[in-house]
A and B are shown apart, each in its own frame.
Chain A
Amino acid sequence: MAVNRLTVKKIISRVRQVFPNAPENYIMNLINESLVELGNYSTKVEYAKTTTVVDQQWYTLSDANSGIDVNKVFRVDFMDSSGEYVKIPRLLNGEIQTMDID
């Protein structure tokens, strides 16, 4: 049995049961607004790779992938000498002795 999903068209038709004159474009903007809010709660897991540079401390997260915004990083791996990705720990406060700027 197919999983029930609502397309934008179905959402618009449900909204227009109450607001028959609501413009389609405006409803779509509100849907996108709600998606931003839902982004704080949903669990869409993605992966991205980035290349390190000698003596560069900071890497912009939005550059690490093509066009998808990072909401929350939950794990970072680093490649070892045999090409395997190994989980590295996160520093709790990030207050290290030396600091670079982006």
Chain B
Amino acid sequence: MASTYTHPEDKISYFIRGNHLAIVTTRGETSGTTHSLEGQFKPIDEAVTNGVLIHYYAEPDTVSAITDIPDVDNVFHTSIIDYVKSKLYQDKAGTTTDPNISAISLNLSNLHQANFLNSIQKNGMRKRDKTGGSRAIVPPDFT
């Protein structure tokens, strides 16, 4: 079923809680039952097939074969090597019985970890939560 909203941007809003997207509308009755009035936010009042188009940043796909190419920009590919080496040096530091090897491994682990973090902070854009886009403020109801 198609939408009956001619200007959905005037009536419909969204917000996000965790992994859930809320679609709300202010369209309603001019008088009548409680909490169904025009101007109050309520759940969307119509079924629209493919009515919502969501634009989002996605998680990269995992790799499962040696022929796979990591699903991130190629500027991050060398960072992945740093990450892997950092963890392997950590493992080595934790398993060796030689305190010298352990100390050196830990230093190298920190070095590769720092390289990894420097690269992603320089080349990447931090996304802290699932929310974004233009914003509107819910005005207080003075009625």
Q: A32-B63, A42-B124, A90-B135 are in contact. Are A74 and B57 (CB under 8 A)?
A: yes
User: Cα distance A34–B81 when bound, in Å?
Assistant: 9
Contact of A96 with B83 in the complex, beta carbons under 8 Å:
no
Instruction: Tell whether A11 pairs with B77 under 8 Å between CB atoms, given A40-B126, A45-B56, A80-B6.
Output: yes
Interface size class of A (residues with CB under 8 A): 35 or more
- Chain B residue at smallest Cβ distance from A87: B9
Q: Are B21 and A76 within 8 A (Cβ)?
A: yes
Min CB distance, A3 to chain B, in Å?
A: 6
Q: A61-B21, A96-B24 are in contact. Are A81 and B66 (CB under 8 A)?
A: no
The answer to whether A3 and B40 touch (CB under 8 A), given A49-B50, A86-B8, A91-B15, is: no
Interface membership of B38, Cβ < 8 A: no
Residues from chain B with a CB closer than 8 A to the CB of A73 are 16, 21, 54-56, 130-133
A44, A48, A80: the one contacting B54 at CB < 8 Å is A48
B50 near A61 (CB under 8 angstroms)? no
Q: In the complex the two chains form, is A93's CB within 8 Å of B138's CB?
A: yes
Contact with A59, one of B21, B40, B53, B61 (Cβ below 8 angstroms): B21
- Once bound together, how far apart are the Cα atoms of A47 and B132, in whole Å? 14
